[in-house]
Structure 1
Amino acid sequence: MTTPTDLVVVLPGILGSTLRHRDSLVWAPSAGSALRAIRTFGRNIRVLQLPDGLGDEHPDDDVEPVSLMPDVHVLPGIWTPIKGYDRLLARLRSIGYRETRDDPGAPPGNLLPIPYDWRLSNRYNGQRLARIIEPALQRWREQGGAYADAKVSFVCHSMGGLVARWYIEHCGGAETTHKLITIGTPYRGSAKALEQLVNGARKGIGRLSVDLTDLVRSMPSMYQLLPEYACIEQPSGLAKTTEISLPELATGNVANGARFHALLTEAESRRPASLTDTHAIVGIHQPTATTANLTGSGIELRNTYGDDDLYGDATVPIVAASRPDIPMNSPLLRRVPDQHGNLQRNKAVLDEIHGILTASPITVRAPHTTALRVDTPDLILTGEALPVSVAIAGNDPQPIRITVTAENRRIIASRIVRPRDSTLTTTSIEGLPPGAYSIDLTGLTPTSTIAPVSSDILVWDPIKEI
């Protein structure tokens, strides 16, 4: 294995950074409880909502990012449940990367996890990266020798890839960037963000105790997650978000989000190295909202693109998971059959990152794997059954174990299903108390060819005030 010489910067996705307001954490795991984190966030909702017309600025509201989320994190109606980044950081440490430290007397580090305020514009957060990365890179280079010309390699999950791309293309980062590794990054946006902005952050199940609609609509980052591709069904065909009027949304905010993507595309097209330096890891085979239909009451999402169901990672559709100049069948894409919130912890993904960073001759994944197609909700109410649907994405029927695990790592339910073909087989799990749960689908034996898929769900009590 080669000795790492790059400075590796890790950027989480939306919701993936803890936030502090003055002396109090307002978004962070609390004793491993997603519900406690939501309570804390809900009590501070007025502090966290952003002013109108903020654009690419900081609101000077004394809210600052602190660290990367280690545990499962979810806010009902904002993006999707995500597992933490502890496993990703552990893999990077295992191949020789060590965190930088603020202590001037400490040895320089080459692993730099950067939290950011995910409410704010990706442009602002991209500009902020320069103030953090450049001093750390300079200190790393001052060791001399093989490190004198060290560059930066980015490992980014979800929206973190958009932040890094803006820094690279518009904030001077291209000169010192060696590699950009993205995991489930919505290069062209996501229909899920469209639904959440238009319909409001209530997940379509009535008014939750914490209504985050006004907060979501105040976040510049959410508009930069809107689909850049044509996704709105119209009689004449699919239309872009800027070509029609979207209910509840200011046209200026929508146009600003589209402009963000256009400026990235223009800059990357002028710099050929941006393509050769980019390694996009994408999730596949999972039912994923791709287009939308306007109704009298808002937006209805559809998993199809025209007549085709192209799938994705259950959050980012495959049509949006890479740059516009990269075809969906391009060999430049690394494809892993898992869901968005678990990609950064998936073993095949970690092996890909390991290989990209070190060029080690490791086995990235088994010669043959059997992919699963899994459909689960993000949120259910207490008393409702949890439906888990699974199909084999191919012609290799095998039994599948479904395991439901609570945040304290206690197994709540385990059962075996036997899907026979590409048709979804659904089983229901009853009696889950309020909390966050991991749903893991695996083969029955260590030698099984099944590629594991993992998703997360929040069980919400609508009676109990949060």
Structure 2
Amino acid sequence: MFDDCTRDACVVVPGIMGSVLEDAATGRPLWGVDLATITDALHGGALFTTLQADAREREADGDTARRAPLTRIRATGLLTKPWWVPVLKGFDPYSKAIKVLEKVTPAREAVAPFPYDWRLAVSYNGALLARAARAHLERWRERVAAVPEWLTAGEARPRLVFVAHSMGGLVVRAALEQDPELAADTRAVVTVGTPFLGSVKSVLVLNLLHAQRKPGRLVRRVQAMAATLPGVHDLLPGYRCLDRGMDVERLTAGDVARFGGDQDMATRSLDERARYRKEGFALPGHRAIVGEAQPTVQSLEERPHAGLAVAAGRHYAFDIGDDLELVRDPRTGIPARRDSLGDGTVHTPSARIGTDAITYVYGQHGTLMRHDEVLRQIRRIALERPDPANLGGDGTGPGLETPDLGGSLGTPLALTVTGLDSPAGVSLSVHSATTGRPGHPLTLRPDPERTDGALSARFTADVPDLYRVVLDTHRHVPVTQLVLVTPPDA
């Protein structure tokens, strides 16, 4: 009965914005419960103001978590319904991943979700995770010891398996680095779309007000919140990404402040990036699942506008040679640009660093945790199946591009499909992610404004809603993304 099970304890760690948050004093839901709360004209503003980090929360680190954890806002669970935020786009629930793990363990108690206050620093949440994972492992070991048939003679005591999405992988790394004994008790760490080198999209979130001539309510609220959050600053890219024409620089704290962020929080985050570049930290049993072939912002150009520093995202990165210097065109000396693609949020090199055990999938960042191939790989790793051949990674395959800021009712949404030679045999559809209303099949045509052979379609929503866009080639697992359509003034 238990031959096809793992006896290890499993912990699921969500990404940024993937935990449900509530006001600890009142129990009022703040995040992850009802999308209407964040788009509501009257109440959304107060909600986003509450979510802004106060002075203590901005300073909290691992030592704070060990001495006196903060209590103003409480994480109560993982997302159970689809969610959406400008620039970072859609986030799917984690329920499917949890169910996959529950099915390959002797009892559901073996699987523990770790909700955390993603607004706060990675180091702070890492310390809390270390404590929670140790307690979970000890409880599970006691449970297993009480049921002799769950372990065969000579079988080792249960260890830990972490399954971490996005920023959750950084939280796991912080936990294991802070607690070496916990690292020794860890069999495997599965990271799904984790930005080990950071993500340029964090800068674009901080820069929302600068980049939009007339930002809507939701955009203004998200930027004002993000500018106060250590968690957002901990996603800043640490690689050379600021294109200066004849040179490419790493972001400085001053750059981040000009782009709308906080200089002190940026200093701490970028210093930590520099430490990892110098010292590194190997995750035990690390397997990376990497989304590929999706159009992904990988670098930035600074475009001054009306006295503001506008960060313009670019879909290319820069090659670094074995000497750690920029690779340049031998004739012109211009830095060599290359589209590394990614999962729409994290570019490929950032998600795969630190391990050679990599599985590539065609999928969008926020929807990877419900992707059938990702779920299959999580199951395989939990059961200690042999690693598959390292396929993919060349960036070829179906990609999906949706508007970063969502859509407005009555205005057509531009949806773009990349990486395909022809629309023959390909379907693109849009349906409600909240009500299950039937989908709208769309007609794909060559995009006359693109030179890369991309296909495009238009969708006009008839009601405000969160919509799921589904690209199905009938040869691969469908690629999906979420798009929020709001009333015109939102």
Contact 2:90/2:367 (CA < 8 Å) preserved in 1?
Answer: no
Aligned residue identity for 2:414: P
Give CA deviations for 1:153-188 in whole Å, capped at 9, x if unaligned: 100111111100100112333121111101111111
Aligned equivalents of 2:461 and 2:345: distance in 1? 26
- Aligned match of 2:303: 295
Aligned equivalents of 2:391 and 2:196: distance in 1? 28
- Aligned match of 2:471: 441
Shift of 1:321: 1.5
Match of 2:271 among 259, 262, 272: 259
Aligned equivalents of 2:293 and 2:106: distance in 1? 32
Contact 1:312/1:318 (CA < 8 Å) preserved in 2?
Answer: yes
Contact 1:380/1:458 (CA < 8 Å) preserved in 2?
Answer: yes
- Aligned match of 1:116: 116
Shift of 1:148: 6.4
TM-score after normalising by structure 1: 0.85
Give CA deviations for 1:257-283 in whole Å, capped at 9, x if unaligned: 1123334455545xxxx3561101011
Matched, 1:87 2:96: yes
Contact 1:351/1:365 (CA < 8 Å) preserved in 2?
Answer: no
Shift of 1:198: 3.0
Aligned residue identity for 2:380: G
Aligned equivalents of 2:458 and 2:15: distance in 1? 30
Shift of 1:384: 1.3
Shift of 1:399: 2.0
Contact 1:76/1:202 (CA < 8 Å) preserved in 2?
Answer: no
Stretch deviating more after TM superposition (57-66 or 311-320): 57-66
Find the residue that maps to 1:245 and give its secondary structure: helix
Matched, 1:171 2:179: yes
- Aligned match of 2:207: 198
Aligned residue identity for 1:91: V
Match of 2:456 among 419, 422, 426: 426
Match of 1:156 among 164, 173, 192: 164
- Aligned match of 1:231: 241
- Aligned match of 2:331: none
Matched, 1:207 2:216: yes
Find the residue that maps to 1:150 and give its secondary structure: coil
- Aligned match of 1:388: 415
- Aligned match of 2:322: none
Match of 1:372 among 383, 394, 398: 398
Aligned residue identity for 1:352: Q
Report the CA distance shift for 1:416/1:424 in structure 2 as closer, same or farther (over 3 A). Answer: same
Contact 1:371/1:451 (CA < 8 Å) preserved in 2?
Answer: no
Match of 1:315 among 345, 352, 362: 345
- Aligned match of 1:351: 376
Matched, 1:45 2:48: yes
Matched, 1:414 2:441: yes
Report the CA distance shift for 1:47/1:159 in structure 2 as closer, same or farther (over 3 A). Answer: same
Aligned equivalents of 1:93 and 1:364: distance in 2? 26
Aligned equivalents of 2:217 and 2:97: distance in 1? 33
Find the residue that maps to 2:74 and give its secondary structure: strand
- Aligned match of 1:103: none
Give CA deviations for 1:192-237 in whole Å, capped at 9, x if unaligned: 0011113349877523256232321111011110001010011441
- Aligned match of 2:12: 10
Shift of 1:295: 1.3
Report the CA distance shift for 1:12/1:186 in structure 2 as closer, same or farther (over 3 A). Answer: same
- Aligned match of 2:362: 337
Match of 1:451 among 474, 477, 480: 477
Aligned residue identity for 1:35: A
- Aligned match of 2:328: none
Give CA deviations for 1:245-266 in whole Å, capped at 9, x if unaligned: 3403343322211123334455
Unmatched tracts of structure 1, length 5 or more: 100-108
Report the CA distance shift for 1:212/1:253 in structure 2 as closer, same or farther (over 3 A). Answer: same
Find the residue that maps to 1:65 and give its secondary structure: strand
Match of 2:190 among 161, 178, 181: 181
Shift of 1:243: 7.7
Aligned residue identity for 2:261: L
Aligned equivalents of 1:300 and 1:322: distance in 2? 25
- Alignment root-mean-square deviation, CA: 3.0
Shift of 1:34: 2.3
Give CA deviations for 1:132-170 in whole Å, capped at 9, x if unaligned: 121221121123364862111100111111100100112
Aligned equivalents of 2:294 and 2:202: distance in 1? 17
Find the residue that maps to 2:135 and give its secondary structure: helix
Identity %: 26
Stretch deviating more after TM superposition (425-434 or 396-405): 396-405
Aligned residue identity for 2:345: T
Contact 1:151/1:178 (CA < 8 Å) preserved in 2?
Answer: yes
Shift of 1:299: 0.6
Aligned equivalents of 2:468 and 2:233: distance in 1? 29
- Aligned match of 1:104: none
Find the residue that maps to 2:102 and give its secondary structure: helix
Report the CA distance shift for 1:44/1:201 in structure 2 as closer, same or farther (over 3 A). Answer: farther
Shift of 1:403: 1.6
Contact 1:28/1:69 (CA < 8 Å) preserved in 2?
Answer: no
Aligned residues: 437
Find the residue that maps to 1:181 and give its secondary structure: strand
Aligned residue identity for 1:315: T
Aligned equivalents of 2:185 and 2:480: distance in 1? 35
Aligned equivalents of 1:344 and 1:243: distance in 2? 32
